[in-house]
Structure 1
Amino acid sequence: MSSGNFFAQYTVEYDPGEVIYKEDEPGNCMFVIKSGTVDLSKNANDTSETISELSKGDFFGELSILEHSPRMETAKAKDKVSVVVIHRGTFVKMLKANMEIAIRMLQKLSTKLRLSEEKVDELFIRVSRMQSEALLTQPNIRVNKEKKVAGKLISLSSNRVFILNSDRNLVGRYDPVTGIKPEVDLTYEDDNRSVSRRHAIIFRRNNQFFVQEEIGVLNGTYVNGTKATNGGEHPVKDQDMVNFGMLAFKFYVVDEDSLPQ
């Protein structure tokens, strides 16, 4: 049996709004997202609050197999979702066979911790935000809504255009094992295979773009000739030069409304 078929037998699909698991339920497996978006939420004072939104390549539910603990949150499919289900025994075998999996998990756990700390910081400024919003809703005050921007990568060798209109865009090559296809798929651009299958993430936050190199990348990621560090967030601005391995691109910021629908 090929590795692709091996993972295919553990692939499960969920419809939009379907609950994958509930908070406090026992669990003995984790999930890796192949496609779609998953919302993680926690209950507090009889209300449900979203704590994270995960997409392709992200994993969740790992604490139940690392600590034998109940589910810490509720996981629900936001749209049509396909996931790979990994049970505790399979997970241990994967770690023994490939230590890179453990390294990637540590990076993701670190990112989750950082995002949690950012949410705590936001609690301290909610009052001032609410006061500002109250002022903006008063009569005779006009608010100019900032237009949402998108990104565009143009290959210097082929002139091929890659549109970045998601908040999180995976850059890499198609992975036949998991079936994950990056938003910026460089499979046919990269004859020398200098780009890793999971090479980098280009994400949008507050209408600004950043590039974050994935763990285990061999041939590097560069912004205007400066090497990006693993896991670091590096700003990418209009007309910056970005290199993934041996491939060079020009980055542009465009008005999202100007893109073809």
Structure 2
Amino acid sequence: MSGGNFFAQYTVEYEAGETIYKEREDGNCMFVIKSGTVELVKGDATHSEILGEMSKGDFFGELSILEHSPRMETARATEPTSVVIIHRGTFVKMLKANMEIAIRMLQKLSTKLRQSEEKVDDLFKRVSRMENEALMTQPNIKVPKEKRIAGKLVSLSSNRVFILNSDRNLVGRYDPVTGIKPEVDLTYEDDNRSVSRRHAVIFRRNNQFFVQEEIGVLNGTYVNGTKATNGGEHPVNDQDMVNFGMLAFKFYLVDEDSLPAQGS
């Protein structure tokens, strides 16, 4: 039986506006979109929020088979949509047969987690602004502006500057399969392809920068000649040397307000 015929028996069609599953329902399967679009919505009829929109090649509902948990949101087709239903047993067999599926799924889950963290960070900033505005309305109270430290990587071979003004900066090469473009995109810097598509993350916490190597990296990540262990957090300080694969960079700490736009 061909792969196409095999998945045909698990394919279900939905009309525009039709609900695939509802929030808090029990679930024992996940879905992969063959065609059409699906929106994920959280909340009820009185107050709801669209979490995101999925399209061809995206998957959703995976937590129900990874954690046996109820549905975290409502999934609804926004146009005529075709999805493949994958039950837990089938999913486990797929992972055992092809490790690439597991890697791609981890990449997608990482992207979803990053997007959720960005939403939480944005909410925290909005709350902080509201609190500061409330304090400023009170007489004789001055709120000092917190000085934000940012960073930049300077390529030793091309002198190209990569700005690090986010709390999380993915380092790697553009992935045309998943559509993930790293914040530090070394696609045109890395002629030898010594850098993985998801090579490392440089993140900022309490005005301190750290580098963390991603899972499955073939060529290492080094800070001042010392190899970064997989999954470990390694501090990066002003004027440290950082290597990703065969590419060498110098790291600088700068005042965030003084940074030029990336690419300038």
TM over 0.5: yes
Q: Please tell me the residue identity of whatever aligns with 1:256.
A: E
How far does the alpha carbon of each residue in 1:100-132 deviate from its partner, in whole angstroms, 9 at most, with x for none?
A: 6547849x79xx8xxxxxxxxxxxxxxxxxxxx
1:192 maps to 2:192 = yes
Distance in 1 between residues matched to 2:189 and 2:150, nearest whole Å: 22
Which residue pairs with 1:95 in the alignment?
Answer: 95
**Contact 2:30 2:60 (8 Å CA) reproduced:** no
How far does the alpha carbon of each residue in 1:7-37 deviate from its partner, in whole angstroms, 9 at most, with x for none?
A: xxxxxxxxxxxxxx98524554379xxxxxx
Which residue pairs with 2:213 in the alignment?
Answer: 213
Q: What SS does the aligned partner of 2:251 have?
A: strand
State the TM-score, normalizing by the size of structure 2: 0.58
Q: 1:254 to 1:196 in 2, by over 3 A?
A: same
Q: What SS does the aligned partner of 1:171 have?
A: strand
Q: What SS does the aligned partner of 1:169 have?
A: strand
Distance in 1 between residues matched to 2:223 and 2:69, nearest whole Å: 42
How far apart are residue 200 of structure 1 and its match? 0.3
How far does the alpha carbon of each residue in 1:134-178 deviate from its partner, in whole angstroms, 9 at most, with x for none?
A: xx9998776533211211000001101101111111100111111
**Contact 2:154 2:249 (8 Å CA) reproduced:** yes
How far apart are residue 68 of structure 1 and its match? 4.2
Q: What SS does the aligned partner of 1:24 have?
A: coil
Distance in 2 between residues matched to 1:223 and 1:206, nearest whole Å: 20
Q: Please tell me the residue identity of whatever aligns with 2:225.
A: G
How far does the alpha carbon of each residue in 1:28-86 deviate from its partner, in whole angstroms, 9 at most, with x for none?
A: 4379xxxxxxxxx99xxxxxxxxxxxxxxxx98532132443134799xxxxxxxxx99
Distance in 1 between residues matched to 2:242 and 2:31, nearest whole Å: 34
Q: 1:251 to 1:61 in 2, by over 3 A?
A: farther
Which residue pairs with 2:168 in the alignment?
Answer: 168
Distance in 1 between residues matched to 2:258 and 2:140, nearest whole Å: 30
Q: What SS does the aligned partner of 1:95 have?
A: helix
Distance in 2 between residues matched to 1:105 and 1:237, nearest whole Å: 30
Which residue pairs with 1:254 in the alignment?
Answer: 254
Q: Please tell me the residue identity of whatever aligns with 1:146.
A: E
Task: Name the stretch that deviates more: 242-251 or 183-192.
Answer: 183-192
Distance in 1 between residues matched to 2:93 and 2:178, nearest whole Å: 17
Q: Please tell me the residue identity of whatever aligns with 1:70.
A: P
How far apart are residue 213 of structure 1 and its match? 0.2
Q: Please tell me the residue identity of whatever aligns with 1:88.
A: I
Q: What SS does the aligned partner of 2:170 have?
A: strand
Identity rate, percent: 84
Q: Please tell me the residue identity of whatever aligns with 1:202.
A: I
Q: 1:66 to 1:196 in 2, by over 3 A?
A: same
Q: 1:259 to 1:244 in 2, by over 3 A?
A: same
Distance in 1 between residues matched to 2:175 and 2:232, nearest whole Å: 24
Which residue pairs with 1:151 in the alignment?
Answer: 151
Q: What SS does the aligned partner of 2:239 have?
A: coil
Q: Please tell me the residue identity of whatever aligns with 2:86.
A: R
State the TM-score, normalizing by the size of structure 1: 0.58
Distance in 1 between residues matched to 2:258 and 2:206, nearest whole Å: 19
Consecutive unaligned residues in structure 1, runs of 5 or more: 1-20, 32-40, 43-58, 76-84, 113-132
**Contact 2:171 2:201 (8 Å CA) reproduced:** yes
- What is the number of equivalent residue pairs in this alignment? 200
